[in-house]
Amino acid sequence: MALIKLDHVTKYYRERLALSDVSLSFEPSEWVYVTGPSGAGKSTLLRLLSLSERPSRGRVEAESGLRKAIGMLGQEFRLLNDRNVYENIALACRISGVWDKEEIKERVTPLLDEMGLRGHEDLFPGQLSAGEKQRVALARALVRHPRILIADEPTGNLDPTGAAQIFSLMRQYRDRETLVVVATHAEDWTVRHPGRVIRLEQGVVRSDQARAATDGPAAASATSAPALAPGATPDVPPPLPPTADPGGGI
């Protein structure tokens, strides 16, 4: 069964048509791009997938419990400037109902390592680079153990190095049964990290193309992280082994 499905969905904002009769189905572990020019309806589609808005017509069918298992990443980092890195991530745990200090620590600590943020946990957002801020924002999205990660132009405010790191880190979560949906108008990512590409134009799905599910050698080399200074924490950990049971998880 699909993790989430749009069935003949139309979305209006007042009289403005944002999406028109869109039917799409998404499975766990899929890596999906939503592309198209500005105003095509990409953000609207993502808002419907995040269950934060309802369609004007048609249905959005999500697996039960999915609402609590959605991670969001945007172009703006939206960190709390008066909280340190650890607290920014821990807060997302509390928002999703995890209050136990030890459990929060067990969730946050490995993410600090994975995101290359170990040693940064006491810093405040104002002390971080844009790439580091976005890695905190990604950790904040992932600490809820999302089954869908929804990213709207996640590299819009990053330099090429920071952007490559964010894509590599998100890519690993696809390998953990998480559906990843990325809206981007930077189409070179669809070549560097191949996946399903849904192209929207004027609120209509123009094409929906599945590509190879795994990165090829060219993609791997294109996305490898740049060298770090000696002694620095690695920003991008090595890729995870493939999951043993690609059909499992739901």
Binders of ligand ADP in range 22-61 (CB under 6 A): 36, 38-44
**C-beta of 38 vs 81, nearer to ligand ADP:** 38
Q: Are strands 148-152 and 179-183 parallel, antiparallel or unpaired?
A: parallel
Is residue 15 a contact point for ligand ADP (CB under 6 A)? Answer: no
Cβ at position 63, least distance to ligand ADP in Å = 24
Rounded least distance, CB 12 to ligand ADP, Å = 9
16 binds ligand ADP (CB under 6 A): yes
Closest to ligand ADP by CB, 20 or 233? 20
Task: Tell me the angle at which helices 130-142 and 160-174 cross, rounded to the nearest 10 degrees.
Answer: 10
C-alpha distance from residue 53 to each of 13, 44, 50 (Å): 11, 8, 8
Amino acid at the residue 118: R
- Could you tell me which of 51, 83, 22 has the C-alpha nearest to residue 207? 22
Nearer to ligand ADP, 38 or 64 (CB): 38
* Number of residues this chain uses to bind ligand ADP (CB under 6 A): 11
Interface with ligand ADP includes 75 (CB under 6 A)?
Answer: no
Sort strands 4-13 and 16-26 into parallel, antiparallel or unpaired: antiparallel
Report the alpha-carbon distance of residue 87 to residue 108 in Å, rounded: 9
At closest approach, how far in Å is the CB of 117 from ligand ADP? 29
**What are the Cα distances from residue 7, in Å, to 4, 10, 34, 73, 193?**
10, 9, 17, 25, 28
DSSP helix/strand/coil, 149: strand
Alpha helices in the chain (DSSP H): 42-49, 85-95, 101-114, 130-142, 160-174, 188-192, 217-223
Least gap, CB of 177 to ligand ADP (angstroms) = 27
88 lines the binding site for ligand ADP (CB under 6 A): no
Q: Residue 176's closest CA among 117, 107, 250? A: 250
**Three-state SS at 206:** strand
Rounded least distance, CB 249 to ligand ADP, Å = 29
Q: Does 64 bind ligand ADP (CB under 6 A)?
A: no
Does 155 help bind ligand ADP (rule: CB under 6 A)? no
Rounded to the nearest whole angstrom, what is the least distance from the CB of residue 25 to ligand ADP in the complex?
Answer: 20
Which positions from 176 to 215 touch ligand ADP by CB under 6 A, shown as an x/- string?
----------------------------------------
Residues that bind ligand ADP (CB under 6 A): 13, 16, 18, 36, 38-44
